[in-house]
Amino acid sequence: MKKGLFLIISFCISSQMVFPIETHAGAIYHLGHGINVGVSTQQDISGKIACSLVAAALFSKIAYDMSWHNSYACRVCVLSKMVQVALEEKAEGFLREPEILEQILTLELWLRNSYASWLTPWNWVASQKDAYHLVQGLALVVLYRPLLDSENVTGQEILRHARSACSTVSLYPLMYFGQELDRHIEFVKTEKAFADMLSGLSNIKYLLRQEKEYIDELQTYETHRLAKQLNTAVTIAGQNSGRRY
């Protein structure tokens, strides 16, 4: 698995993008990746202002996201070097530090919401892709290495590890661990560097789903989700009933 990690750890690329904006009337505002906002000379002043505000808001969103690209990539690369050193020096305790786990899982979530979202195509750049692949490789190491190193891992061991690893990032650590496991299995299927982990991860998935505590947490989450939806619906209905038409 170390070999696979070292192959993935080579990713760390930065990129820049330019978003030209024309300001004369009737122009198309090129914001990148096929996102254009047009203003017709036939539109009234209010329409032009509305389009200008939309364009400004969208451009601000893109510029904000772009400003984080290098930050994400650099933070992931720093963490990868720290993990690599820990593996070389056999400092297994470092990989189980709550701070390291939280940083890696949080960065993975941010990059998934950034690079893997179809709503933000301006994030589909090489640096985001490489950083996302790298952080998934790091997550594979810190989340599953202790379980894969166990000769006869049990469901209870998986539950204990899942709670320890994911309690800092989710109120439902077992469910979160299970969701991450599903995503990582799909990732491993496409990455030859981690192909030897597929069997072990599939076994962990099978054992996790047999545990009553895992099933109970899923049911608890669903109960809370439905209760929240009901409370929201009741609140909205109450607000609407108090309006005068």
- For residue 217, the number of C-alpha atoms closer than 13 Å in the C-beta half-sphere is 20
Q: Give the least confident one: 114-123, 168-177, 234-243.
A: 114-123
pLDDT for the residue numbered 89: 83
Does the residue 243 lie in any domain?
no
pLDDT for the residue numbered 40: 45
Do residues 39 and 52 lie in contact, with contact meaning Cβ atoms separated by under 8 Å? yes
Does the residue 54 lie in any domain?
no
pLDDT, average across residues 107-132: 73
- Within 10 angstroms of residue 239's Cβ, the number of other Cβ atoms is 9
Does the residue 192 lie in any domain?
yes
Does the residue 31 lie in any domain?
no
Strand partners, 30: 36
pLDDT, average across residues 146-151: 88
8-state DSSP, 29: E
Q: Give the least confident one: 48-57, 92-101, 176-185, 236-245.
A: 48-57
pLDDT grade for 37, boundaries at 50, 70 and 90: very low
Does the residue 39 lie in any domain?
no
Does the residue 42 lie in any domain?
no
pLDDT for the residue numbered 224: 93
Structural domain for 138, as ranges: 2-16+68-233
Dist. CA 224–CA 222, nearest whole Å: 5
pLDDT for the residue numbered 244: 56
Kindly provide the b/e burial profile for residues 105-114, where b requires at least 16 CB atoms within 10 angstroms of the residue's own CB.
Answer: bebbbbbeeb
pLDDT for the residue numbered 121: 62
Examine the pLDDT at 145 and tell me if it is beyond 60.
yes
Between 245 and 114, where is the model more confident? 114
Q: Enter the pTM of the model.
A: 0.65
Specify the amino acid at residue 37: V
In total, how many domains does the chain have? Answer: 1
pLDDT for the residue numbered 117: 63
pLDDT, average across residues 207-231: 94
pLDDT for the residue numbered 111: 84
Q: What are 236's two structure tokens?
A: 């909205």
Examine the pLDDT at 57 and tell me if it is beyond 60.
no
Does the residue 197 lie in any domain?
yes
Residue 233: enclosing H or E segment and its boundaries?
A: helix 212-241
Q: Give the least confident one: 84-88, 98-102, 213-217, 234-238.
A: 234-238
Q: What is the pLDDT of residues 189-200, one digit of tens each?
A: 998 888 899 999
Dist. CA 90–CA 214, nearest whole Å: 31
Burial of 34 (0-12, 13-18, 19+ CB in 10 A): exposed
8-state DSSP, 96: T
pLDDT, average across residues 65-77: 67
8-state DSSP, 132: H
pLDDT for the residue numbered 70: 64
